[in-house]
Structure 1
Amino acid sequence: MNTNVIQIHKNECIHCQVDSSLSFRPLVEYLKGRLKTEKSVKSEFYRFLLQKIEKDDVLLGNISAEDLSQYKDTLELIFTILTPLMDNEDDLFWALSTPIPDQIFFSTNAFYKFFKDHDPKNKVTKDNEPVEKKQLKFIYNIILGRFYNFTSVLKNEIIYAHINQETKLTQYYNIQTDTKFVEIMHKGDLPELNFEALSKHFQEETELEYLVENLPLSDFHFEGFSIISITDVTLQHSIEGIRGALVDHNYQTEAYSHVIHALKTLSGNSKLEFGLMPFLTVNNKLVFDNREFSQSMLINSAKASNLEEEVFYALVDKYKENPRSIFVSAIKEEQIEKDPFLRVLKAAGVSSYSILPVYYNKELAGVLEVYSKEEVAVDDKLLSRLRPAMPLIGQLFQYSIEEFNARMDEILMDKFTALQPSVQWKFNEAVWHFLQQNNGYHKLKEIETITFKHLYPLFGAIDIRNSTTERNRALKNDMEVQLNALIDTLKFISKNVSLELIDKLIFNCKDWIKRIGDFASSNEESQLNEFLEVEVYPFLSIIKANHPKTADIIDQYFEVVVPDTGAAFENRRQLEVSMQLINTEVSQYLEKSQSKLQASYPCYFAKFRTDGVEYDIYIGQDIAPEKPFDLLYLKNIRLWQLTSMVDIARLSKSLIAEMPCALETTQLIFIHSNAIDISFRNDERRFDVEGAYNIRYEVVKKRIDKVLIKGTTERLTQPHKIAMVYFNPEEAKEYIEYIKYMQVQGYLNDDLEQLELDELQGVSGLKALRVGVKYTENKVVSKTDAAKKLKPKEIKSIEKEIAKVLQH
Structure 2
Amino acid sequence: MKEGDNIKCTLSKIPFKVSLSFEYLINDIEKIASDLKHPMNLMAQQVISMLDNKPELKKAEIDLSSLDNNHEILNKLMAFVINPLVNQEELSAVFPPFAWEPFYATEYFKKLFLDPVKTNYLVSHILPEEDKMLVLVLFHAYMLILDKIYGIDLYQDKPLTFKLEDDKTKLVRFYSSRINSQYINIIPSEKHRKLSDEELKTLVNVDNDLDYWNKMIPLENYEFRGMMKIDYFDVTYDYVISQLKSDLLNRSTIITNSGFEKVKGWIKSLIENAELEVGLIGITDFKSSYNKNFIWKSIVPYEELSCEDYAGSIYEEAFVNQKIIITDDFNEQPGSKVVEAFLRRGIRSHVIVPLVVDDTVVGALEFGCAKPGNLTMIQVKRLLEVFPIFAIAINRSKTEWNDRVKAIIQKEFTAIHPTVEWKFKETVQNLLNAESCESDFRVTEPIVFNDVIPIYGASDIRGSSIERNKAIQADLTDQLMMVKDILSSDKILNDIPLVSNLFFKISQYLKSVEEGLKAGDEMAVIEFLKSEIQPILNILKERDNELRSIVDSYFAKLDPALGVYYNKRKDFEDSLTMINDHVSDILDKEQVQAQLVFPHYFEKYRTDGIEYNAYIGQSLVKKLTYNKVYLNNLRLWQLLVMIKTARKVKEIQESLKTKLDISQLILVHSAPLSIAFRQDEKKFDVDGAYNIRYEITKKRIDKALIKGSKERVTQVGKIAIIYSYAEEIEEYKRYIDFMIAQRFITNKVEDIELEDLKGASGLRALRIEVDFNKLSSEGIDKAKYEEFIGLDH
TM-score, structure 2 normalization: 0.45
TM-score, structure 1 normalization: 0.44
Highest CA radius of gyration, 1 or 2? 2
Richer in helix (by share)? 1
